[in-house]
C-alpha cells in the first residue's frame, strides 16, 4: 500500500492501454457532447479535425479509466481528488487510436488542517499510439499519511 510518505517528487510511471472504438466515441457524444464532429462523418470532414473525433471529455474519461486501473493494480491509500489545476486537449483522439498514460509527481505537501492527509500534484499526459500527446493535465490527489504524528515540514 502506497502512503504519502512513499510518494517521491519527480518519480514517473507509464501505464494503461485503451483502444478507442467508433461506437464508443459516438455513444459518449450522443449522451454528453452531441456536437456534429463527434457524431457525423460528413460534418467532421468539414472541420479542422478532418474526421470523426472523440470528445475531449471522453478523452478525460478514458484517461480516468486508465488511472483507476493503475491505482487498483498498485494499491494506494488514496482519498480522492479535489480536482485538476490545468487541462489541455493537445491533439484529437480518433476511433482506432490506442492510448496510454504517463504520470510524474511534481509536488507534495502535508495538509495542515487534516494531519492524516497529504496532497500531491501530478502531471498526467495521455499519448496515442504514435507517442503524440493528446491530453495534458495537472491533477491533485489526496492520500493518507502513514504516521500522522510526524512533524509537518514547511
Report the DSSP pairing between strands 133-144 and 83-89: antiparallel
What pLDDT does 153 receive?
73
pLDDT in tens, 105-136: 999 999 888 888 999 999 999 999 999 999 99
**Residue linked to cell 491509500:** 77
The pLDDT of residue 151 is above 80: no
Q: What percentage of the chain reaches a pLDDT higher than 70?
A: 99
CATH number at residue 50: 3.10.129.10
Residue 47 grid cell: 472541420
Q: Is residue 150 part of a domain?
A: no
Number of folded domains that form the chain: 1
The pLDDT of residue 148 is above 80: no
Q: Is residue 50 part of a domain?
A: yes
147: confidence class by pLDDT, cuts 50, 70, 90: confident
Enclosing domain of residue 42: 4-144
Q: Is residue 97 part of a domain?
A: yes
**Residue linked to cell 478514458:** 62
Taking the alpha carbons at both ends of the chain, their separation in whole angstroms is 25
62: enclosing H helix or E strand? helix 56-73
In what side-by-side order are the strands of the sheet with 117-127?
Answer: 12-19, 98-110, 117-127, 133-144, 83-89
Please tell me the pTM assigned to this model: 0.93
Q: Is residue 151 part of a domain?
A: no
The pLDDT of residue 154 is above 70: no
What pLDDT does 7 receive?
96
Amino acid at each position: 500500500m502506497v502512503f504519502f510518505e512513499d510518494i517521491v517528487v519527480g518519480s514517473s510511471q507509464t501505464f494503461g492501454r485503451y483502444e478507442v472504438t467508433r461506437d464508443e466515441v459516438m455513444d459518449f457524444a450522443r449522451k454528453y457532447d452531441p456536437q456534429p464532429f463527434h457524431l457525423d462523418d460528413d460534418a467532421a470532414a468539414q472541420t479542422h479535425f478532418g474526421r470523426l473525433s472523440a470528445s475531449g471529455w471522453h478523452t478525460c474519461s478514458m484517461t480516468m479509466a486508465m488511472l483507476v486501473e493503475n491505482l487498483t493494480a498498485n494499491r494506494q491509500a488514496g482519498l480522492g481528488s479535489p480536482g485538476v489545476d490545468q487541462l489541455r486537449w493537445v491533439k484529437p483522439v480518433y476511433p482506432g487510436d490506442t492510448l496510454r498514460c504517463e504520470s510524474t509527481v511534481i509536488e507534495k505537501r502535508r495538509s495542515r488542517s487534516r494531519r492524516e492527509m497529504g496532497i500531491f500534484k501530478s502531471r498526467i499526459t495521455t499519448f496515442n499510439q504514435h507517442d503524440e500527446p493528446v491530453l495534458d493535465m495537472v491533477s491533485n490527489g489526496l492520500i493518507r499519511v502513514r504516521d500522522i504524528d510526524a512533524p509537518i515540514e514547511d
